[in-house]
Structure 1
C-alpha cells in the first residue's frame, strides 16, 4: 500500500507538472540571461558578453556525431529511460543523504534540461526530487528528439556559449552543422566542467577530455573501433581582441547601470574604442615595459572619448585595471599643477628663477642629478624638472593652491598639502592625470573621459546616446598657452626627449623615489596619452624613469595614433591680461595731459593743453614740492626686469614715490576738488621671496 501511495503521489505530481510546463515553442524562445555585444567606434564587434546562443538547430540539422557524442558521455541510456535513470537516481539520493561529493554524474540529459530551464544548481535532495519530477513531466509531454534538440541548443559550454552552434562558432569558427567527430567530442566533453575543459583556457585538458568521449563512443558502438581520431589536430579559433580589450569593457560597461533603465533584452553597446589604436597601445606596453613590471596606457580624444585603454601587460594573467583603478605616485608629472598655479598667479615662461638649495618647513628637496644650475628662466626649470624650483613655486603660491588646481583639473584621489606634494607624492589614477593633460591640450577647457557612444537593442532601437557636457574654462587662455609652452619645451629639449614623434608634442615625465613608478603624459594633434609603469608590489624597477620606457611607449603608440591626423602647432603665444602687461611710462606716471604745468614765464597751464615741448620749459610742481627727475625715472625699474630675482607677479611700480604735485596745490588749482593721482596698475596677487 505504501508503494502504491508513493507511485500514485509521484504520478499525480508528474501529471500536474506536465500540465504546467510551457509549450515546446515557449521553451525554445526562453533565454537564461542578457547578451551584450560590444562594438568599436567603427561598428565592428570587439567582444560579446553574457550568454551567446548562436543559431537554433532543428533536430534534423544537428549532426548525428554530435548527438552520439553527447549521449555517450552524458546519458548512455537516454533512449530507454523515462526521464530518470534508476541507477543514477539511487546515487543522487545517497549523495543527498551522505553529502559524498565523490558520487557525481547522476543526472540524465532530461534532468539536466529540467535543471537548466527551471531550477538552480543547488546540490540538495529537495532540488534533486523536483528535478526528477520535472524530468518525467518533460518525457511525458515531449518526444526524445524534442528533448535532445532542446538540450543541445540550450546547454552551457563555457565562455558565455549556450548551445552547440554558439560553442562551435566560439571554439572552431564555423556553425555546428559542420562539426567533425573530433570537434563534437571536444564540445561534448565540456558539459561536465566548462571552465576546466575549455580549449581556450587549457588545450591539453580539452584534448584529454575529448579522448574520454571518443573512448566511450567506441565502447558503446557509436563509432567503429578502427577509426582513428586525433582531437589535438583540431584547429581552434584564434582569440583576437579578447585580451586587452577586456580592460576597456571592464571600465565602460558597469556605467550602463547608470545610463540605462533596467532591461534584460539583448543590447548592442557602441563604444569610443579604436581597434587599431588598442592594438598599438597593447603592443607598445608589451614591448617597452621592463621585465617583471606592469604597464598601463590611456589615450583620450580631444572631447574625452577613450580611444585606447590598457590596464596591464596581460588580461588573462591579471585582470586588475591599472589604468583606471590603481593609485600610484605620478612623480614630476604632478608639476603640471604647480606651474599652472604659478602661471595663474602671474608668472610667465620667460621669468627668471633660481635653482638653488632650499629648505621649507624642514624639508630640503634635491634635484635628480644632485646639482644646481643657478639662475634660469621658468621654461628651463620646468623642462629639466628642477625640484628646488618647483618647491619654491609651491611655497610661494601656496600648497593649498596647488591642491585646488589639481582638483580643478579632475584629480579625484586624496591630495596632501605637505611641501613635498609638489614633487608628486600624492597618489593618483592614470586616467585622471591623462584627463588633466587633455584639458591643457584643449586650451584649459574641462575634458570628461567617456567610453560609450550609444546603446541600442538588437533590433536597432536607440536606448542611449552620449551628449557632451558644455566644457568649463578651468584656467584663462594665457595660462593654458604658458603651460603648453613649458610642456613642449620639456619634450623638445628637456627630460621628455624620448617622446618625440616628428611633430609637435607637449608632455611631462615623472619618476618616483627608488624608481618605483615611471610616468609620461603628453599630447599631440588632439590626442592625449598617459603611460604608467611599475610593479604591483611597489618594489623598485631597475632603470625605470619616466623619460625612458614610459616616454618610449608613448612615442611608439602616438606615431600610430596621429598618423592620419593633420599636424597641429601649439598655441603658446601669451595674450596676457592688462594687469600683467609690462608697465610703460603712461602707466607709471599717468597721461601728461592730466598734469598741471608752469611755463617759463610762470603761467599755469591747465590739464589737456599738453606738456611743454623741449625748450618750452620743464614740468615741475609748485609750492616747493620735489618733482620727478630723469634719475627718478631711471630708478623706476619695470616689474618684469630680467635682473629681478626671483620672478614674481608684477608689484605696484615705484611704491612710495612722491606725487607729481602736492595735495594742497591740487585742491587750490581745481577749486577744492579731489586729489589727482597718477594712475597705477591694478595690484597683483601677493608673492613671497625665496
Structure 2
C-alpha cells in the first residue's frame, strides 16, 4: 500500500481573524489617507482662494490713495485751524524716506519674523490658538504686519474665526502680489496710531510737531509702541504710559539686534518733547452745531475737506471767559453772539465740554422770563403805541391771573418807555391783553422762535420755553432794523487741494416789522440798559438789551446788541432748580458786558436809530406839517368821517362834512356821496372799530380786535379789575 507521508499538503488559507491587520494600524492608515485627501483639497481650496483674491486686489497705487474715513479740518474766521476731526493723514513717505530706525522698531515689536514668513506666522498662530482654547477668548494676537495691513484696509476688528480666516487669505494674497518693502511701506503709512492719526507722518506731526523723516530713536520707539493700544499709550493722553511702552520697544529692538545695549541705554525717552493739544473745550460746542449742516450743504463725499467757519477765536476765548467768570457756582451758562448778517462769532454751550457736551446754546429750552416782553412790546408798537404813550402800572387780573411786579410795587401812570425799562409786569399784561395774546405769539414766530408757544395770559412774562440761539436771532433782527436774520456758521467748504465745494451766499432778510416799530423797540431796549434793569450791561457805548428772570430765580437772561454785534446770555441749572440771587440784571448782564467790550473794541461806535417815522394814520395833528392854504386843514371825527371845520353850518356852529351834511353826519341808510363812490368802510366794521358793538363772541377770552386809531386820538389802556396783592408764578425783570 502506497504511503502518503511524502506527499505535500496544500497550504491552508488564513482565517479572517488571523489575517486582519491590527485596528490601530487600520485607523492610522485611514486617517493618513483621508488626512492627505483633506489636506490636498484644503491646499487646492486655499490656493484657489489666494489666487482669486490676489487677482481682485487693487493695484499698489489704489491702495496708497485709499483712506479709512473722511478728514475734516475746521478753520476759524481768520483761517487758523480750530480742530481736526476724523482721520488725519500726513504726507505719504516712500520706503526710502522712512527712517531705518522706524522700520526696525516696528518690525521688532509687531512682527519679528516679517522678512521670513509667507504672510502668516505659524508659530504665533499656534500660540494664539492654544491661548484661545485655554481661556475661551483671544488674549493675544498672532497677526503679522501683513495681516494687520489686510485688516486695516479690507476688514473690521471683530475677533472671530471667520474674520481671521479672511484676514489670512488676504495676507497670503498680499504677499504674493507685493514685495516685503511695499507691504511695510503701506503699513507704516496707514496703521492707526491714536488721536485720529493714520500713518507715521501724521503721528509724528501730532505728537512731536515735525515730519516723520526726522524721527529719533526715542520717538520711533514711542510711535512703534502705540499700535498695540493707541488710546492707552498716546503721549498726549498719558505720557508715563507712552514712555513705559517705549522702553519695552527698545528692549525688543536690543533682543533682535537692531540696536546695541549701549545705544539703547543712551536713549532718554523722558526727554522727548511732546506737543500739547490745542484747547478744544468750548470750540466743540460750535463745531457740534455747525458741522451737521454739511449733510445739507454738500453732496456725499469721503474726500478730505476743509470747513471755513464764522467763529472768531479771540471772541470765542472772551465768551468762554465771560461765562466762566460770572456764572454762579453749581450752574451752567450759555452764550451766542452774531454779527449783523447772522454770522455766529462765538458760541458757548456750557462751562465744560469734556464733562458735558450738551449744547445749552442750541438744544436746551428754558423760560425766557421778561426777555419775552420784546415780542409783547413789538406787537404793541405795531398796533399803534409809541414809547411816549401813557400807561398805568397798577394791579390787574386777567382771566383769574394776577401778575405782580418784581418789587411788589406799582408806579401808577407812567410812559411805555419807563414801563419797559423797569420791566413792569402789570403793564406787559395789559398790553398783551389789549393786542391779543395770539398776536404776541405770532410776533414771536415772526422773529424766529421755533419752540411751542402758549397763548395763556401769563405768556407775556415768558412762560413758553425757548432756545438761546432763537432769542439771540430775534434781537439780531431788531438790530437789523426789523429785518430777519438767519444764523449761520459755515462760510465755505473746500477740498484740501483748494477746490471750492460750497460758498455761503448772503440773502436779503425779510422785513418783519415796519421801520418805525424797530426804531421804537430799539428806543425801549436802549432805555432798559441806560436807566432800567439792564444797567450792568453798559460798556461805554450805546447798548440796547433786555433782562429776563424766571420764577424762583431758575433762569437768568440778558440779550442785547451794540455796534452790529448781538449777544444772548443764559445761566441756570440743568435740573431747573432755583439759584439763589440769580437774575438777568446781574450775572448774565455782567457776562454780556465782559464779552461785548472785547467783541466791539475794534468797531466804530454806532448810535441807534430811534427816530419814529410814524405812518400817516398814527401822526398827531401837531406833528403834521401843514402845506398850502390853511383853510385846507381837516380832521376826522370819532366815527372816522372827514370833517372840514371852516365849512360850518349857519352861524358856523356845526361842522360840515364833505357830502354837504351838517351835524353828526350821515346815519345808517344815508345816500352815498354825490360822486357815487361807495363808503370807505361798512357800518358793521365802524361799529366794531369804535366800540359801539360788543366784541365777537367767537373770540377767546383775552383776545380783542385792534382797530386803526383815528388821527389825533389815543386809545387808553383798559383799566382792568384791581385785585388784592397775590403771589404770581412767573416774574421778570
TM-score w.r.t. length of structure 1: 0.85
Give 1:252 shift.
1.2
Taking the TM superposition and a 5 Å limit, the aligned residue runs for 1:148-227 are 148-226=184-262, 227=265
CA contact (8 A) 2:132 2:139 kept: no
* Residues 661/165 of structure 1: CA separation in 2 closer, same or farther (3 Å cut): closer
Q: Size of the alignment, in residue pairs?
A: 632
Distance 1:230 1:363, change over 3 A: farther
Quickly say closer, same or farther: Cα 1:5–1:519, change in 2 above 3 A. same
| Residue 298 of structure 1: aligned partner | 336
What whole-Å deviation, never above 9, does each CA across 1:493-552 have from its counterpart, x for those lacking one?
111111111110101111222222221111011111111122222233332221122111
Distance 1:25 1:424, change over 3 A: same
Q: Classify 1:391/1:101 alpha carbon distance in 2 versus 1 (closer, same or farther; 3 Å).
A: farther
* 1:595 corresponding residue in structure 2: 647
| Structure 1 residues 32 and 440, CA gap change in structure 2 (3 angstroms) | same
SS at match of 1:253: helix
Check conservation: 2:338, 2:345, Cα contact below 8 A.
yes
Please, what is the CA RMSD of the aligned residues?
A: 3.0
SS in 2 for 1:521: strand
Decide whether aligned partners of structure 1 residues 462 and 517 sit closer, same or farther in structure 2, where only a CA change above 3 A counts.
Answer: same
The C-alpha deviation readout for 1:301-339, integer Å capped at 9, x for no partner, is: 111111111212222222211111111122211111111
Q: Which residue of 1 aligns with 2:484?
A: 446
Find out whether 1:364 has 2:402 as its counterpart: yes
Q: Deviations over 1:607-629 (max 9, x none)?
A: xxxxxxxxxxx5135xxxxx89x
**Which piece of structure 1 moves more, 146-155 or 133-142?**
133-142
Are 1:297 and 1:530, in contact at CA under 8 Å, matched by a contact in 2?
A: yes
Aligned partners of 2:574 and 2:243: how far apart in 1?
35
> Is 1:416 matched up with 2:454?
yes
Aligned with 1:47 (options 83, 86, 96): 83
CA separation of 1:252/1:219 partners in 2, compared to 1, >3 Å: closer, same or farther?
same
Query: Could you say which residue in structure 2 is the equivalent of 1:650?
Result: none
- The 8 Å contact of residues 96 and 124 in structure 1, kept in 2 or not, is answered as no
Aligned partner of 1:122 in structure 2 is 158
Aligned mate of 1:373, from 378, 386, 411: 411
Q: Does 1:392 align with 2:392?
A: no
Secondary structure, counterpart of 2:39 in structure 1: helix
> How far apart, in 2, do the equivalents of 1:327 and 1:19 lie?
58
2:679 & 2:215 partners in 1: Cα distance?
99
2:653 matched to 1:620?
Answer: yes
Within a 5 Å distance, the mapping from 1:255-270 to structure 2 comes to: 255-270=293-308
- Listed one character per residue, the Cα deviations across residues 426-477 of structure 1 (whole Å, up to 9, x for unaligned) are 1111110010000000110001111112222233332222222331111111
Q: Which of 547, 553, 557 is matched with 1:509 structurally?
A: 547
Question: Distance between the aligned counterparts of 2:108 and 2:456, measured in 1?
Answer: 71
Alpha-carbon distance in structure 1 between the residues aligned to 2:576 and 2:248: 46
Partner Cα distance (1:511, 1:661) in 2: 52
What displacement does 1:245 show? 2.0
**Shift, 1:96, TM fit:** 7.3
How far apart, CA to CA, are the structure 1 residues paired with 2:422 and 2:665? 52
In structure 2, relative to structure 1, the CA distance for the partners of 1:34 and 1:331 (3 Å cut) is same
Distance 1:234 1:423, change over 3 A: farther
Describe the shift of the 1:56–1:533 C-alpha distance in structure 2 as closer, same or farther (beyond 3 A): same
Counterpart CA distance in 1 for 2:563 and 2:675 is 63
Counterpart contact for 1:517–1:533, Cα < 8 Å: yes
Is 1:68 equivalent to 2:68 in the alignment? no
TM-score, normalization by structure 2 = 0.80
Q: Which runs of 5+ in 1 are unaligned?
A: 599-617, 622-626, 629-657
Distance 2:676 2:78 in 1: 74
User: Where do residues 165-564 of structure 1 align in structure 2 (5 Å cutoff)?
Assistant: 165-226=201-262, 227=265, 229-564=267-602
The answer to whether the aligner puts 1:6 opposite 2:53 as a matched pair is no
Indicate how the Cα distance of structure 1 residues 661 and 278 shifts in structure 2: closer, same or farther if over 3 A, else same: closer
Contact 2:549 2:557 survives alignment (8 Å):
yes
Match of 1:636? Answer: none
Moved more, 527-536 or 361-370: 361-370
Aligned equivalents of 1:395, 1:483: Cα separation in 2: 19
Secondary structure of the structure 1 residue equivalent to 2:635:
helix
Contact 2:394 2:411 in 1 (8 A): yes
TM-aligned CA deviation for residue 408 of structure 1: 0.5
Q: Distance in 1 between matches of 2:319 and 2:40?
A: 72
1:37 deviates by: 2.3
Structure-2 change in CA distance of 1:674 and 1:43 (3 Å): closer
